[in-house]
Amino acid sequence: MAQAQEDTIFRLDTALARYRQLGTDPAIQAAWDEPLPPWGASGSRKLEPGKPYAGLPILMRRLIALGDLPPDTAVPARYEAPVTDGVMAFQRRHGLEPDGVIGKDTLSQLNVPPLARMHQIELNLERLRQSPLPVAPRLIVVNIPEFILRAYATEGGQPVLKTRMKIIVGNARGTRTPVFTEDMRYIEFSPYWNIPPSIARKETIPKLRRDPQYFAEQGFEFYTSGGTVITSLTNENLEAVLSGKMRIRQRPGTKNALGGIKFVFPNRDNIYMHHTPATQLFAHVRRDFSHGCIRVEEPLALARFVLQDAPEWNDERLLAAMTSGRSATLRLKELLPVVITYFTASADEDGRVHFFPDIYGRDTIE
């Protein structure tokens, strides 16, 4: 996997040279010195395709400088193609919804000058160099700001991408997913969700007091440190949870917050990967909705990768275990490194540079 990291560093180094040139070119810098004018006399908050816009020449100069619009593009009468195509290309490179509509988030990214991007690339290069990937035949890498998981295997001495999927990470307002590296050791099929005391105190118990039927609807139960399970909802049991004498858990099933599978790599923050019944959340571009753990869009594909050396675990058997309603643990034959990273800049093999939102504000403090 070291070669993959070296290739990434090389591509970012190349991008850095380009953005350094852009940031020190007075003619290009002038496109950012002159602000984009507001659109429409009505004070509209969004510039939508088909609308007239006096700022088209400045907008186009920025897109051309960044490589999102061909340099010989003529200025159209309205905000329309090919300028909208250039904006969509820009949006794809900056972790935005590629709809061609310029709203608050797209405008904010358009206003970042090349010199600032140069510093962002430098920061991410430093992160890369200080965080070498583990030497392993297989590897799972999560990039938090990108909301993407990638799984690699070494074939013929070269890293090969085996699967890539959307993820949901910890909320930026208070339940952030930490950065670390640990080994995946086991999988839990049809897992129980042992609700953390902080979530039980702040969310679950207040909701149960407002709506007692929620207890049965969600398949909750109380349990003690001695293993006693209690399925009746009483105020005394809720108070016992608040005092630490009991905990609440959710039984396996279709409503279980962890879905049908949990991928465990023991760590001090108790972070793990799992599926979720709230699959509609993967349609969002920005996906920091969790309490810190990582939700995966394609749990079956990830399970295939994790268990590729166990052919007896075919799709039929995996799905059966994920939907059985009976919790079971499968220990891996070999440890599988999981790397949780935080990179807000990357470069494709074709040289296109991508920037991701600094959702946790780490770029401003490092």
Catalytic positions, please?
Answer: 274, 293
Pairing mode, strands 328-341 and 138-143:
parallel
Count CB atoms within 10 A of the CB of residue 50.
Answer: 9
Report the candidate in 41, 30, 16 with the shortest Cα–Cα distance to residue 64.
30
Contacts of 168 (CB under 8 A, 6+ apart): 147, 276, 281, 282, 287, 288, 289, 290, 294, 295
Pairing mode, strands 273-274 and 193-194:
unpaired
End-to-end CA gap in the chain = 26
Label residues 126-144 b or e (16+ Cβ within 10 Å = b). Answer: ebbeeeebeebebbbbbbb
